Structure 1
Amino acid sequence: MHSSAALLTRSGQLLLLGALGLGGCMRVGPDFQPPGEAWIKLWESPALEQSSQQGLSPDIRQWWQVFADPVLDALIAESDAHNANLKIMGLRVMEARAQLGIAQSGRYPQLQQASAESLYTHRSQSSGSNPQDSRFWQYSAGFDIGWELDFWGRFSRAIESSDASYFAAQANYEDARVLLRAQVAQTYFSLRTTEARLRVARENARQQRRNFEITEKLFKSGQNAELDLQQAKTQYLGTLSSIPDLEDQVQRTRNALAVLIGQPPGALPHRVESEGLIPLIDRAVLQDVPANLLLRRPDVRAAELNVAAQSALIGVAKSDFYPSLTLFGSIVWSANSLGGTSNSLDLIGGPSLRWNLFDHGQISNNVRVQDARLQQLIEAYRDKVRQAAREADDAASGLSRSLERERILREGEIAARRSLVLASAQYREGYSDFQRVLDAQRALLEQQDNYLISRSNAVSNLIALYKALGGGWYSAQPTVDQATRQVMEKRTDWGDLLKEPAAAQPAFPTPHGVTVDE
């Protein structure tokens, strides 16, 4: 149903002023309510309490400093500056800012167009003995404007949704940084562990080679049986065969670390060979209770902001139930080149009312679609919180158990070393056969390798614990680096969108009262 007035009467003006006054305070659809999880306030984890402690240093935002490793610090700085996935997430923040600008444009007239025409006319008429021939130009120019009033909150709800999506994009960017820093640290310590395992294998291979050469000489001189020779050879070749696999693991891990910091495979910058064992930290240092840290995780904040964005879209869909009031106006100027004619200037304006009286289920089902999507996102948020708690509890339990295993294996390695010394001494003095030496060597290699792996597992669980609590999201670097910004500005007019915005708050309540900056 559609009706329009050609002219604005005084009463019509008063009606429109009243509509404008009401339009600012009427918004259909639900207001955002944080989904929340009641259990999180009372959640306790004995494993987490055992594996963490309250403190101010180091800051959880830069948790990797607990390792006091300058090489790791340099690698994380490189990944912050050059990692491709992190750059993509930063550009998605810029995309969300542009989408927010599109939504904000709904506050202004939606139809703004100018037109101009020039028409040449040649008219020839024959009437008896008086033929007529006329030539003239016709000119016209006009400007049309249409402004749909935000009477039911269609545009303000769309802005609310885009605003939430923008902050969700920022939270996803911070989450990408959390995952990247944890991955860099885990890959770095995995590299150091594999290099240590390679050194142990080479050292044991050298020792087993000497034993093999000794048994070979004794066999050739008739002092040893061939069995000792073949057993020594078997053990030596078995250890030797593990070295190529470890070397391959080292190279693959180096390449993975290089790609994480935005470099091609090859020599790693800032890479310093370290002969020492990777450091062990027995607990995480936290600046807040774990429950609050879980809700502060970037991916949890992003999930809640997605709920806020979808909640506003219900209001956008519901606004289609109600009439839309649009103000139209036109200015048209026309003239021609015929002598004796005058120019004309027409001013036309008035309101236009549109109302879909018969939606045949289209509008109502669209509202239901948006509501179903909202409930899906609420369930996704709740599951995200549960998964975050599970990750934290698993990592804390894993840290405690791996440290316990490391202590046991450390004592086992000491015992294996002593066993090899005693077995070798007894063999040389003739009190035992060579099999006991081989068994002691095999046990020592196994204990040393397991010990290195147990230390690596402990460090991995500590990193996973910090990651599960959202540590490492903060960085002072800009969202889009200077080089990328210059390329994009040269290609497209971005205005001020690529500049780092001042600290802003979303248009809806901040999740659980937690601000964007810690």
Structure 2
Amino acid sequence: MKVRRLILALVPSAALLSGCAVGPDYTAPQADIDAEFNQLRSDAGLTAGQPTELARWWTTLDDPALNQLIDRAVASNLDLRAATSRLRQVRALRNVAEGDRFPTLDASAGAQRSRASENVSGSGDLTTELYSSGFDAGWELDVFGGVARSVEAAEADVGAAVEARRDVLVSMLAEVALNYVEARSFQERLRIARDNLESQSDTFELVVSRHAAGLVQDIDLERARSNLERTRSSIPQLATQLERARNRLAVLLGEQPGALDGVFERSEPVPSPQLEVAIGVPADLLRRRPDIRQAERELAAETARVGVATAELYPKLRLNGSVGLEALSGGSLFESASRTFGIGSIVSWPLFSGGQIRNRIAAQSEVQQQAYIGWQAAVLAALEDVDNAVTAYANEQLRHASLERSAESAARAATLARSRYDAGVADFIEVLDADRERLSSEDALAASNAEITTGLIRLYKALGGGWQSLARTRVEGHE
């Protein structure tokens, strides 16, 4: 009875103490990044307003085919499915940690028949039977909060897994859009090359006929042929690049290469971005980038694990109890006289461990420090991504304006060169040079058109856009 009174006295005390968790309490880190955003390029159409379009940034390109591909990728992308599986795994492990808060209860039943040695027991009945059944319960009270810290770490691990999946989603959305734009760009460049090939073929036929009439020298014929074949040689290369972009896009959608040939059966222009893009205020970046959010959750988990390691320095109290039935015959097992019970408690306290516990605490503290450094690195990497994307987007628009003027001038020069040649005041080399320059300028302009759009896509990715509109849905693993 004294033991029972002691245990009953310990239970409320343990319940009170369990609210005290040893180890450091977590405080989320802060970063001052205002200064990093003072170089926004107004000539690129970037503003510091609220980026309302970031949640579904791909819809701003106004391309129905792209929208459909994005939906298919969200449903079937293999990297996303793997990240979902990892998220479910971590959630299950969180539930395992939660289970340590509660008592355990085991049921058992058994029957045993044994015979003693005649040489040992002498005469008498040498065969005995024993029947038993019962329940065993145990509960380790979380007096110093080691279990609470373990659950805290597991919750943070779940948060990190959620953000890791969002990071996969952000990258996947950008990759789908980038490969789609790339494919459309190669289609446009193929069209330009084929149009120029047709024009140069007409020119070559004219040169052949003039050469047969003795009006054109051999060197002009060979130059025309070289120009024609050079243009012809670019077509297979562009076709190969187009096929690679389509195949990569199919794999991103979790489908076999060639599955999207129907989408690109007809050539469509490269989707163009809107004129003005809002990239948000500095603090938005920390709240929006999944990789920064993941690093912060990982820091929270490792901080909680310092508490888990610290709790090993303190005593542990475990309550044990059992109730059951025991009898020498099956028929009497359920009689009141067969009842058994036991109750007790165990207190354990590591008094000497060769410094192992404190060294584990020190080691975990270093893991916590590494997680903090990882968070700092994630912030810097995010700022680098944004700065590079803003700079590239702004400079490509400046480059595009020059390429437009260059293409216009090259087209006029080609027309003038042909007129001068037909009038007999210029040689054929001037026509060929003008044609080559026109093709080069048109191709560069088409590539720049795509680069502006891909630059905006990379900027949206750097800003962490895309996962917000899909949160709390299937994409978060809540199926």
TM-score, L = length of structure 1? 0.85
Flag the 1:134–1:363 CA change in 2: closer, same or farther, 3 A.
closer
Deviation at 1:19, TM superposition (A): 2.3
Deviation at 1:480, TM superposition (A): 5.0
Residue 365 of structure 1 aligns with an amino acid whose one-letter code is: N
Query: Which of 3, 7, 13 does residue 8 from structure 1 map onto?
Result: 3
Determine whether 1:22 maps to 2:17. Answer: yes
Deviation at 1:9, TM superposition (A): 3.7
Structure 1 counterpart of 2:329: 337
The C-alpha deviation readout for 1:165-212, integer Å capped at 9, x for no partner, is 111111111121111111111111111111111111111111122222
Deviation at 1:337, TM superposition (A): 3.0
The C-alpha deviation readout for 1:393-451, integer Å capped at 9, x for no partner, is 11111111100110100011010011011111111111010000000011011111111
Question: What is the rounded CA distance, in whole Å, between the counterparts of 1:474 and 1:385 in structure 2?
Answer: 19
Determine if contact 2:160/2:293 at 8 Å carries over to the other structure.
yes
Determine if contact 2:414/2:435 at 8 Å carries over to the other structure.
yes
The C-alpha deviation readout for 1:45-92, integer Å capped at 9, x for no partner, is 323565422556852101112211111111111111111111111222
Structure 2 counterpart of 1:162: 154
Flag the 1:57–1:348 CA change in 2: closer, same or farther, 3 A.
closer
Determine whether 1:208 maps to 2:204. Answer: no
Determine whether 1:74 maps to 2:68. Answer: yes
Structure 2 counterpart of 1:116: 109
Question: What is the rounded CA distance, in whole Å, between the counterparts of 2:202 and 2:30 in structure 1?
Answer: 66
Question: What is the rounded CA distance, in whole Å, between the counterparts of 1:280 and 1:339 in structure 2?
Answer: 85
Q: What does 1:232-243 align with in structure 2 at a 5 Å threshold?
A: 232-243=224-235
Determine if contact 1:125/1:133 at 8 Å carries over to the other structure.
no
Structure 1 counterpart of 2:38: 45
Determine whether 1:353 maps to 2:355. Answer: no
The C-alpha deviation readout for 1:122-160, integer Å capped at 9, x for no partner, is 458599xx9755544221223222211101111110110
Q: Secondary structure at the match of 2:100?
A: helix
Structure 1 counterpart of 2:29: 35
Residue 266 of structure 1 aligns with an amino acid whose one-letter code is: G
Question: What is the rounded CA distance, in whole Å, between the counterparts of 2:330 and 2:210 in structure 1?
Answer: 125
Q: How many residues are aligned here? A: 474
Flag the 1:219–1:103 CA change in 2: closer, same or farther, 3 A.
same
Deviation at 1:293, TM superposition (A): 2.9
Residue 315 of structure 2 aligns with an amino acid whose one-letter code is: P
Flag the 1:60–1:115 CA change in 2: closer, same or farther, 3 A.
same
Higher helix share: 2
Query: Which of 197, 205, 220 does residue 228 from structure 1 map onto?
Result: 220
Determine whether 1:448 maps to 2:442. Answer: yes
Deviation at 1:262, TM superposition (A): 2.1
Question: What is the rounded CA distance, in whole Å, between the counterparts of 1:179 and 1:82 in structure 2?
Answer: 15
Question: What is the rounded CA distance, in whole Å, between the counterparts of 2:47 and 2:119 in structure 1?
Answer: 105
Question: What is the rounded CA distance, in whole Å, between the counterparts of 1:104 and 1:118 in structure 2?
Answer: 35
The C-alpha deviation readout for 1:349-380, integer Å capped at 9, x for no partner, is 11101111111121111111111111111011
Determine whether 1:152 maps to 2:147. Answer: no
Structure 2 counterpart of 1:284: 277
Query: Which of 422, 429, 433 does residue 423 from structure 2 map onto?
Result: 429
Query: Which of 230, 234, 238 does residue 246 from structure 1 map onto?
Result: 238
Structure 1 gaps of 5+ residues are 1-5, 482-496, 501-518
Deviation at 1:119, TM superposition (A): 1.4
Deviation at 1:276, TM superposition (A): 3.3
Q: What does 1:118-197 align with in structure 2 at a 5 Å threshold?
A: 118-122=111-115, 125=118, 132-133=124-125, 135-197=127-189
Structure 2 gaps of 5+ residues are none
Question: What is the rounded CA distance, in whole Å, between the counterparts of 1:476 and 1:178 in structure 2?
Answer: 11
Determine if contact 2:34/2:282 at 8 Å carries over to the other structure.
no
Structure 2 counterpart of 1:459: 453
Flag the 1:338–1:480 CA change in 2: closer, same or farther, 3 A.
closer
Flag the 1:425–1:372 CA change in 2: closer, same or farther, 3 A.
same
RMSD: 2.6
Structure 2 counterpart of 1:322: 314
Question: What is the rounded CA distance, in whole Å, between the counterparts of 1:21 and 1:11 in structure 2?
Answer: 16
Determine if contact 1:216/1:229 at 8 Å carries over to the other structure.
yes
Determine whether 1:473 maps to 2:467. Answer: yes
Question: What is the rounded CA distance, in whole Å, between the counterparts of 1:477 and 1:435 in structure 2?
Answer: 61
Q: Secondary structure at the match of 1:62?
A: helix
Determine if contact 2:417/2:434 at 8 Å carries over to the other structure.
yes
* Identical positions, percent: 35
Determine if contact 1:58/1:66 at 8 Å carries over to the other structure.
no
Residue 383 of structure 1 aligns with an amino acid whose one-letter code is: A
Q: Secondary structure at the match of 2:249?
A: helix
Determine if contact 1:306/1:377 at 8 Å carries over to the other structure.
yes
Structure 2 counterpart of 1:101: 95
Question: What is the rounded CA distance, in whole Å, between the counterparts of 1:242 and 1:339 in structure 2?
Answer: 94
Query: Which of 398, 401, 410 does residue 395 from structure 2 map onto?
Result: 401
Determine if contact 2:190/2:235 at 8 Å carries over to the other structure.
yes
Determine if contact 2:51/2:277 at 8 Å carries over to the other structure.
no
Structure 2 counterpart of 1:490: none
Q: Secondary structure at the match of 2:137?
A: strand
Question: What is the rounded CA distance, in whole Å, between the counterparts of 2:413 and 2:331 in structure 1?
Answer: 121
Question: What is the rounded CA distance, in whole Å, between the counterparts of 2:16 and 2:84 in structure 1?
Answer: 40
Q: Secondary structure at the match of 2:438?
A: helix
Q: What does 1:253-272 align with in structure 2 at a 5 Å threshold?
A: 253-268=245-260, 270-271=263-264
Determine if contact 1:212/1:229 at 8 Å carries over to the other structure.
yes
